[in-house]
Copies of this chain bind each other. A is one copy, B any other.
Amino acid sequence: MTAEIWDVIIVGAGLSGLSAAHLLRKRNAKLKILILEGKDRVGGRTVSTDIPAANGVDRWDFGGQWVGSTQTHIFELIKELGLETFAQFNIGKKVHHMGGPGAKVRTYRTSIPALSPMVLMDLAQLLWKMNRLCATVCVQDPCKTPNAVELDSMTLHSYIKQHVWTAELKEEMGVCSRSVFGLEPSQMSFLFFLMYAAAAGGVLPLLESTPGSAQEFKIKGGTQQLSQCLAERVGWKNVRLSSAVTAIWQDAEWARVTTSTNTFFGRAVIVTCPPHLAAKIHYHPALPSQRGFLTQNMPVGHMIKFIITYRTAFWKEKGLSGEIVAGSSSGCPFCVTFDATSPSGNAALVGFISAQQASQWSSKEDWAKEDYSGGCPVNVMAPGLLTYYHPSLRKPCGRIHWAGTETATLWCGYMSGAVQAGQRAALEVLAELYPLTLTQEEQEAVQHSLTVKDPVEQTPTFQLTYFSTTKAIVIAPLAIGAVLFLAQNQNARLMVKTYLANAFF
């Protein structure tokens, strides 16, 4: 065991952690920054790998691959690092298979699927309704959304069931949910879905490869380069791979971060891993119970990505774009494919097996599971969470700050969101340690982000006092509250003992 002292310790060498480190370094070159990563590589949920292709070997992204021109944070980073993008190929007919294994396989050319006029009308009214709701969502503080509790109390499935008239569109929406989140519409809060769409500028930008949409461009050489270039700039010596963080202890002076072999002391910590993995770290003192409830309610998606290389892009010769959209009723194991031909011309298709289908497929590989990812592409929120526990998502806990794409307010869940979140967390740390390195505007943004209130204000009449952390004694006010209901408190011995919150029933 060794003990080292650092200014800022970052947990996770993905885009979010490395973006945070990069910004910290730019503002203060003297900062001692350490990045701890559980995997044996940088990049988190981005990874680019060489596989055999028509002309020898070529590189593809097996993690996050697309960027869109409205994703300003990632685009600025791409520019800064001198990387190049190229457009997602989407010319030609797309293939569409819905309505059962026997249903006709249709083709279409626009971004509007080959649906009957009735289903198209249905789609139009649904998008109109959803986008209208999206426009009312407060991404920064979703509880402020009108009718938030009601929207958060239903699943996306329940909303679809209520507002979609045709079975075809219901199936179509299932494909959308699976391809965007890796989860069935039943597995997420409708308000979460709206927030996610609002952070991306609407529902359609999540689904399309048109200008401004999520699937617009790819990065030449792969997206993992972003993290590799950032690690280069931050200094590889500050990045420790295969160093999974097991515990974070805090006291008045230091945060102490431990791995299985080392202990590191830091003045601030930025945790960037997905919420369900951040929850596996042992924290002392314990995190607020709200944070625990939050991370327990953020299921991560289940998505299997496959890339198939071909001798030639025969689909292009046939006038097809390579895009296939298949409903779960079609018996097809994947939900969507796209052309994935490389910039150097090696033909390939990329596709996704997702959600329920991924669960079935993965039962064949039961014991295979990469550590320190635990799911993809993103954690969503179960119903009833945003309205009660959302502030804990970004609220720092002592010296610990939270990043990762799940905590972003612009393109949450995307690479751009990872960058935004990392930069926001870096600014929070600077605001605490070196406030003079921030502009007035940045200071205000940090202040604003930190003051999001708990969703429902505490009933002002009651006040709890605690004498010990685990066995707290609640004095008179609560007893009085209780006894008022019996209108008879003159003989009460006001002795109340309560095991709090997370103890017992």
Contact = CB atoms under 8 A, between A and B. Distances in A.
Given A491-B310, A497-B51, A383 B186 contact: yes
Interface string A439-461: 00000000000000010111101
A319 B219 CA distance: 76
A402 interface: no
A458 B359 CA distance: 10
A193 B296 CA distance: 18
A153 B296 CA distance: 19
A96 to B, nearest CB: 10
Given A363-B458, A485-B332, A491-B310, A305 B505 contact: yes
A369 B52 contact: no
A503 interface: yes
B305 A499 contact: yes
A488 B371 contact: no
Contacts of A481: 332-334
B187 A297 contact: yes
Nearest to A458: B360
Nearest to A466: B365
A112 B404 CA distance: 50
- Copy total for this chain: 2
A339 to B, nearest CB: 11
Contact of A359 (B45, B60, B290, B497): B290
A434 interface: no
A3 interface: no
Interface stretch (A177-185, A233-241, A425-433): A177-185
A479 B308 contact: yes
Contacts of A282: 280
Contacts of A67: none
Interface stretch (A15-23, A130-138, A468-476): A468-476
A359 B464 CA distance: 13
Contact of A383 (B63, B64, B280, B383): B383
B454 A363 contact: yes
A486 B367 CA distance: 32
B157 A157 contact: no
Contact of A302 (B246, B280, B293, B456): B293
Contacts of A504: 45-47, 62-64, 303, 305, 373, 376-377
A356 interface: yes
B289 A464 contact: no
B293 A502 contact: no
A276 B275 CA distance: 13
B503 A370 contact: yes
Contacts of A358: 501
Contact of A157 (B46, B97, B154, B349): B154
A483 B324 CA distance: 10
Interface in A265-306: 276, 279-280, 282, 285-290, 292-293, 296-306
11 contacts: A52-B495, A63-B499, A153-B158, A155-B158, A289-B302, A289-B369, A290-B366, A307-B498, A368-B466, A370-B502, A382-B383
